[in-house]
Amino acid sequence: MAALAPLVRGSLQGHPLAASFAAEVHRVHRRYAAEVVAKNGFCPFLKDVDTGFGRFCVMLDPEPDVDGALAAVRAAGTSVIHLVYPCTLLPTSPFEKFAGRLGEALKQSLRDPPVMATFHPALPGDGSNPFRLVGLLRRAPDPFVQLIPEGLHAGGTMFAGAADLEETTTGEELDPAQANFAKIHGGFLEKLVTLMSEIRADRDRSYAPFLEAFGASPTA
């Protein structure tokens, strides 16, 4: 099955550069998915990087909006959805609060609400234990919300679990996080962090002319 074209939404979706920017956002996040996640087997449900995003929604809003996100979810036409916010300047905590409001709205508006995971380039985390590693690995190039059907995450993906694994994960559900933690040895983590920094630098360079044209910071 061929990958779906990115869905562009938000207050800047009518900008002449919106489609070109969305393609660049997709390229950068495909690097993260392929080089960080898939290559190292961190997310068992991600079998095919080209289709693994489901519908990749580029949300061109400086401030995430729950109503806009719900509209994008309804328009996506897929069960797996990634809502990516490349223009937002929100720090980690406010973005997580937005994701929480979105999660509640999805529960109220959908018969079978999806499982949600939140990613942000500044998420706290390190390699000291399996729980802290989750935060480090979720440092995506841009803030985004991942939505997948209930039950799909039962295959073991650490990228679609509870918002706070340290407090809510049972022993059985912990296995994937522990398995990923077991991979962190012999300088592997240092190389991984360096790669993630390189992808983030690629993001900053390639986004800069677009964000300047949009009137946003080149290091949003």
pLDDT one-digit tens code per residue, 148-172: 998 664 443 444 433 333 333 334 4
Sorted by sequence, the CB contacts under 8 Å of residue 183 that are 6+ apart come out as: 40, 41
Q: Is 114 helix (H, G, I), strand (E, B) or coil?
A: coil
Tell me: the pLDDT tens digits for 169-207?
Answer: 334 444 677 778 877 877 899 999 999 999 999 999 999
Report, as an integer, the average pLDDT of 93-97.
Answer: 97
pLDDT at 166: 36
Share of the chain above pLDDT 70, in %: 85
* pTM, full prediction: 0.87
Report, as an integer, the average pLDDT of 77-98.
Answer: 96
Number of domain units in the chain: 1
Tell me the pLDDT of the chain averaged across its residues.
86
pLDDT at 171: 41
Report, as an integer, the average pLDDT of 5-23.
Answer: 96
Q: Tell whether 216 is covered by a domain.
A: no
Distance from C-alpha of 98 to C-alpha of 182, rounded to nearest angstrom:
32
Q: Tell whether 1 is covered by a domain.
A: no
Q: Tell whether 215 is covered by a domain.
A: no
Report, as an integer, the average pLDDT of 65-89.
Answer: 96
pLDDT at 163: 34
Q: Tell whether 212 is covered by a domain.
A: no
pLDDT at 157: 40
**Taking 80 as the threshold, does the pLDDT of residue 140 lie above it?**
yes
Tell me: the pLDDT tens digits for 27-71?
Answer: 999 999 999 999 988 887 777 888 889 999 999 999 999 999 999
Q: Tell whether 211 is covered by a domain.
A: no
Q: Tell whether 217 is covered by a domain.
A: no
Q: Tell whether 183 is covered by a domain.
A: yes
pLDDT at 184: 80
Nearest to 60 by CA among 33, 83, 81: 83
Report, as an integer, the average pLDDT of 123-147.
Answer: 93
Secondary-structure percent of the chain, ordered helix, strand, coil, rounded to 5: 50, 10, 40
Q: Which residue has the higher pLDDT, 14 or 127?
A: 14
In the chain, alpha helices (H): 18-31, 49-52, 66-76, 92-109, 130-137, 165-168, 171-181, 188-214
Q: Which residue has the higher pLDDT, 102 or 49?
A: 102
Name the one residue in this structure whose structure tokens are 């999806």: 114
Q: Tell whether 111 is covered by a domain.
A: yes
Range of 154's domain? 7-206
